[in-house]
């Protein structure tokens, strides 16, 4: 595997609003009718619908990204809902069902329903991210393990592609290989 100079892949940088929030700069104003803003208005309902409570007493729900998949289709959101450790957060993919937030459904390579454990994490020894693809047709789950100097030891991207026939995100081996090759250089 080719080695990168940095433990963080260049294409997997933090979304601009999250980056600005982290450095303390004011975020750009969101369009009041944007998918992210519509999901932010649902945060109280999201908190009530989460499948497992967060052990962090001061946890908060954050909408990292949202879109209609495909354009004009069902609305989905990438939701950060729990601070696990100093360097990682639990993330869920939620969808609107009858106007209410619900967990999105995922299927593995054998078409069995699964509950993927998505994370956002950044430290010297690990990097993890989950996000919608630019074309809004898939969810990418990025994982990278680094040595103590921040050099990559293992890197992999798992792609789940929207299946309108079953209203699920299905594991896709080809897109996973392509994303791993593009992001990890493998």
Q: Which tens digits make up the pLDDT trace of 76-104?
A: 999 998 887 667 888 999 999 888 999 99
Alpha-carbon torsion 106, 108, 161, 66, what sign?
positive
121 contacts 88 by C-beta, under 8 angstroms: yes
The full set of domain ranges for the chain reads 10-184
> Does the structure show a pLDDT above 60 at 10?
no
Looking at residue 92, its pLDDT comes to: 92
Mean pLDDT of 132-158: 90
């Amino acid at each position: 595997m080719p080695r990168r100079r940095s433990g963080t892949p260049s294409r997997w940088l933090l979304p601009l609003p999250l980056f600005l929030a982290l450095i303390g700069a004011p975020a750009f104003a969101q369009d009041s009718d944007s998918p992210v803003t519509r999901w932010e208005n649902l945060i109280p309902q999201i908190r009530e619908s989460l499948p497992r409570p967060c052990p962090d007493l001061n946890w908060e729900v954050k909408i990292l990204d949202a879109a209609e998949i495909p354009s004009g289709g069902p609305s989905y959101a990438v939701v950060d809902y729990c601070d696990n450790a100093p360097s990682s957060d639990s993330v869920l993919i939620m969808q609107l069902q009858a106007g209410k937030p619900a967990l999105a459904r995922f299927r593995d390579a054998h078409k069995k329903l699964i509950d993927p454990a998505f994370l956002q994490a950044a430290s010297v020894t690990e990097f993890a991210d989950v996000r919608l693809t630019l074309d809004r047709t898939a969810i990418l789950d990025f994982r990278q393990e680094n040595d103590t100097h921040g050099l990559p030891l293992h890197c992999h991207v798992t792609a789940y592609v929207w299946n309108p026939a079953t209203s699920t995100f299905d594991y896709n081996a080809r897109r996973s290989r392509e994303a791993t090759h593009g992001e990890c250089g493998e």
